[in-house]
Amino acid sequence: MNYLEIKKYDISNGPGVRISLFVSGCTHHCQGCFNPESWDFNAGKPFTEETEQEIIELLKPDYIHGLTLLGGEPFEPGNQQALLNLVKKVKEVYPKKDIWAFSGYLFDKQIMDVMAQKYDFTKEFIKYIDVLVDGEFHEEEKDLSIVFRGSRNQRIIDVPKSLKKKEVVLHEKDAIRLGGAPWKKGADLK
């Protein structure tokens, strides 16, 4: 697997200050994608053991809330395999830090019903993800006022609860579907 970037102080892709890994390769090719240079699996540089170690070190400070995996597509099968060791290590070293992932694949219909039936590594990989923001980017549903997503079709899923219940359980931050008002930038700055 290749990756494009590691962001060291990311405050946009999950709660708190986070380390974000932008992996290379995505087959969804959504119209209006924010990061089309990430579609190429050969873009960026190789993800090595040193990169893994670098991320473990970057996660160390107490003010770092957790790790976010995005791209590109972290759930392309080859990328899942390459990321499995990283997520295992992160949970081993920092059991209290959370792991968020962004995927164009749907948690229930594509990840659990198809990939997890086909690949043992998906069954394992998904267990290390705390929160999954799922769904392709739909330009016609684009909404800049909703947190952590580009379009309103995308869901914020509580993965451990969903795995336990064997159905999609939305995360408390999914204000759109949970009935809360989506946070609008500046709305609480009076």
Beta-bridge mates of residue 31: none
User: Residue 156 Cβ, how far from ligand SF4 at the closest point, in Å?
Assistant: 15
Distance of CA 87 to the CA centre of its chain: 12
The footprint of ligand SF4 (CB under 6 A) covers 26, 28-30, 33, 35, 38, 71-73, 104, 136-137
User: In 3-state terms, what secondary structure has residue 155?
Assistant: strand
Closest CB to ligand SF4 among residues 139, 167: 139
Closest CB to ligand SF4 among residues 136, 158: 136
Number of neighbours of residue 188 by Cβ within 10 angstroms:
7
User: Residue 103 Cβ, how far from ligand SF4 at the closest point, in Å?
Assistant: 7
User: Residue 155 Cβ, how far from ligand SF4 at the closest point, in Å?
Assistant: 14
49 CB-side CA count, 13 A: 0
Closest CB to ligand SF4 among residues 81, 153: 153
Closest CB to ligand SF4 among residues 28, 161: 28
User: Residue 35 Cβ, how far from ligand SF4 at the closest point, in Å?
Assistant: 5
Strands (E), the chain: 2-10, 17-23, 45-46, 64-70, 98-103, 131-134, 155-158
